[in-house]
């Protein structure tokens, strides 16, 4: 194993956060340092995977040398590598932010903030609470990171189930870190939904195993190649239902806004940016790879319709919220809807890869932008002591860096150029127009308009009023500047699409031109 091409970087991206989680658990005092070390060091295996992908194509690794049906096999194609990269970028930034957020406990400074403001402040408002949250945050987050990377590299149903379960449990525990009663209720609901989703998924997996005797995705694909047995759609339906619940697709989104809005800010960012994408990723693997034969056009359209409803309903709800974090959380509900437009559009002949690329670029752009939104909301909330939109104007104006970061993220969420969100919407739009599927164009246009409207509810805040600034609680600089860094990355995604989409093409299940059009 001396050749660089054979180095098992895939094991590295899983093992490193896992080791970090153990270390952070054993030495709670050193936990932030451990977390930051992992966030830095993880780039070595991540970039290693990327180089392997670019130079040698899709990578396989069998843990301990045991082959597929028996052992644990890892597989990294363009999709996996891109998402691992996204996790490293967003996760790394959130780690930097969290170091400031759960920072040193200063017993003398904040006597006046001992009571939780109404509306369920998710902050650990007492110093003791913050110390406890800090001790628990790092091991849980690093564990979640390991589970996420493992999920993205797994290629059989059982491992996907296990990693999904680990991911869900650590996410629930992270939500419960905010020890406000509202947050605990939200965490409880999240736990139940997560378990129910896992149960449905497991039921589907059991059906598959009973019918085909294998859980390996490539082997399944081969087995399903012939005439489709009636059990296959049932199993796919069960698994899909479970995953939709975890992805919070309308109308199964009810648990998401309270959970995401009441968690501590770094946790909200991780959940909205990364965790919901994991179950979406599994859906893609099922629908476009293993069960490509069993998935019908009508079913794809159905997912698209649910996505469209999510776009409209989520945006509408975001327009109605009076709290910043709830607004951002409903925006997630809406933005997740766009991802599901990938299903009907990617099935079309003309824009297969265009829609695929659009959907996945949407995943990347949304991950960065939404993390920025939650992080800046957290900074504002820390400074103001609440997150009610009506009383936030002066605070926003006193924190121009955070306000600017939020504005850049909003540009991407709305889909204005130049940003990752623009590229993603452009690709989806191009696929829809190229295949003359007009109704999706209408949904995207309406969603964009509504996104602009709800983003404006926040963006106008710094301009409201002319009063002088009230004193606000100081927020660590590292929190503000890490947020801005990720916001600039969101903008940068508007310029890096060409190479990223080339990587995505490696091992992609759909083909076609990058953009439709130009052939008279």
Residues interacting with another protein, by CB under 8 A? 400, 404, 411, 416-418, 423, 426-427, 429-430, 433-434, 441, 445, 448-449, 452, 456, 459-460, 463-466, 494-495, 497-498, 501, 513-520
Cβ neighbourhood burial of 234 (10 Å; 0-12, 13-18, 19+): middle
CB of 278 or CB of 516, closer to another protein = 516
Of the candidates 362, 368, 174, the residue with the CA atom closest to the CA atom of residue 281: 362
CB of 140 to another protein, least distance (A): 37
CB of 333 or CB of 461, closer to another protein = 461
CB of 174 or CB of 403, closer to another protein = 403
Sign of CA dihedral 325, 328, 333, 339: negative
CB of 54 to another protein, least distance (A): 17
Q: What angle do CA 465, 466, 467 make, to 5 degrees?
A: 100
Contacts of residues 438-444 at CB distance under 8 Å and 24 or more positions apart, as own/partner, are: 439/308, 440/304, 440/308, 440/341, 440/344, 440/345, 443/308, 443/311, 443/312, 443/341, 444/311, 444/338, 444/341
Q: Are the C-beta atoms of residues 431 and 348 closer than 8 Å to each other?
A: yes
CB of 412 to another protein, least distance (A): 12
CB of 92 or CB of 512, closer to another protein = 512
CB of 281 or CB of 353, closer to another protein = 353
CB of 59 or CB of 335, closer to another protein = 335
Q: How far is CA 232 from each of CA 217, 237, 296, 340, rounded to the nearest angstrom?
A: 13, 8, 12, 21
CB of 414 to another protein, least distance (A): 8
CB of 103 or CB of 514, closer to another protein = 514
CB of 311 to another protein, least distance (A): 14
Helices (H), 72-115: 78-101
CB of 241 or CB of 515, closer to another protein = 515
CB of 70 or CB of 498, closer to another protein = 498
3-state class (DSSP) for residue 104: coil
CB of 481 to another protein, least distance (A): 12
CB of 309 to another protein, least distance (A): 21
H or E element: which one contains 62? strand 59-62
Q: Are the C-beta atoms of residues 88 and 79 closer than 8 Å to each other?
A: no
Span between the terminal Cα atoms of the chain, in Å = 51
CB of 57 to another protein, least distance (A): 20
Distance between CA atoms of residues 411 and 409, nearest Å: 5
CB of 225 or CB of 517, closer to another protein = 517
CB of 499 to another protein, least distance (A): 10
Distance between CA atoms of residues 106 and 194, nearest Å: 36
Tokens in use for 259? 């959970």
Distance between CA atoms of residues 6 and 19, nearest Å: 22
Of the candidates 308, 451, 285, the residue with the CA atom closest to the CA atom of residue 356: 285
Q: Are the C-beta atoms of residues 165 and 199 closer than 8 Å to each other?
A: no
CB of 146 to another protein, least distance (A): 34
């Amino acid at each position: 194993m001396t050749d660089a091409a054979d180095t098992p970087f895939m094991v590295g991206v899983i093992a490193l956060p896992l080791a970090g989680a153990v270390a952070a658990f054993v030495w709670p005092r050193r936990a932030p340092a451990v977390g930051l070390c992992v966030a830095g060091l993880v780039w070595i295996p991540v970039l290693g995977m990327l180089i392997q992908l670019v130079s040698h194509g899709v990578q396989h690794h069998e843990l301990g040398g045991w082959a597929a049906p028996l052992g644990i096999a890892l597989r990294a194609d363009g999709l996996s590598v891109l998402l691992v990269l996204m996790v490293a970028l967003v996760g790394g930034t959130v780690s930097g932010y969290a170091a400031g957020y759960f920072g040193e406990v200063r017993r003398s400074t904040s006597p006046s903030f001992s009571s939780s403001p109404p509306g369920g402040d998710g902050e650990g408002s007492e110093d003791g609470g913050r110390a406890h949250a800090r001790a628990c945050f790092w091991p849980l987050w690093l564990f979640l990171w390991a589970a996420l990377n493992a999920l993205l590299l797994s290629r059989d149903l059982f491992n996907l189930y296990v990693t999904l379960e680990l991911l869900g449990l650590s996410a629930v525990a992270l939500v419960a870190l905010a020890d406000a009663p509202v947050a605990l209720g939200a965490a409880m609901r999240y736990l139940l939904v997560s378990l129910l989703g896992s149960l449905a998924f497991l039921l589907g997996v059991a059906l598959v195993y009973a019918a085909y005797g294998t859980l390996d995705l490539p082997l399944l694909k081969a087995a399903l190649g012939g005439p489709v047995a009636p059990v296959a759609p049932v199993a796919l339906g069960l698994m899909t239902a479970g995953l939709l619940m975890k992805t919070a697709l309308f109308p199964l989104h009810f648990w998401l806004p309270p959970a995401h809005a009441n968690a501590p800010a770094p946790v909200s960012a991780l959940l909205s940016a990364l965790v919901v994408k994991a179950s979406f990723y599994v859906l893609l693997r099922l629908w476009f790879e293993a069960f490509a034969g069993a998935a019908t056009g009508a079913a794809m359209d159905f997912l698209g319709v649910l996505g469209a409803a999510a776009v409209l309903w989520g945006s509408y709800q975001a327009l109605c919220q009076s709290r910043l974090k709830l607004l951002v959380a409903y925006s997630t509900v809406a933005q997740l809807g766009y991802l599901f437009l990938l299903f009907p559009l990617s099935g079309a002949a003309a824009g297969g890869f265009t829609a695929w690329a659009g959907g996945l670029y949407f995943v990347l752009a949304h991950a960065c932008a939404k993390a920025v939104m939650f992080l800046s909301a957290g900074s504002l909330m820390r400074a103001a002591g609440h997150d009610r939109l009506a009383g936030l104007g002066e605070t926003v104006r006193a924190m121009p860096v955070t306000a600017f970061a939020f504005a850049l993220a909003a540009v991407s969420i709305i889909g204005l150029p130049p940003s990752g969100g623009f590229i993603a919407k452009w690709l989806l739009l191009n696929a829809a127009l190229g295949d003359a599927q007009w109704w999706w164009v209408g949904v995207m246009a309406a969603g964009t308009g509504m996104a602009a409207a709800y983003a404006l509810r926040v963006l106008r805040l710094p301009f409201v009023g002319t009063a002088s600034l009230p004193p606000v609680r100081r927020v660590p600089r590292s929190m503000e500047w890490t947020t801005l860094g990720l916001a600039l990355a969101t903008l940068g995604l508007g310029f890096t699409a060409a190479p990223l989409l080339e990587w995505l093409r490696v091992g992609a299940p759909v083909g076609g031109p990058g953009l439709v059009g130009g052939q008279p």
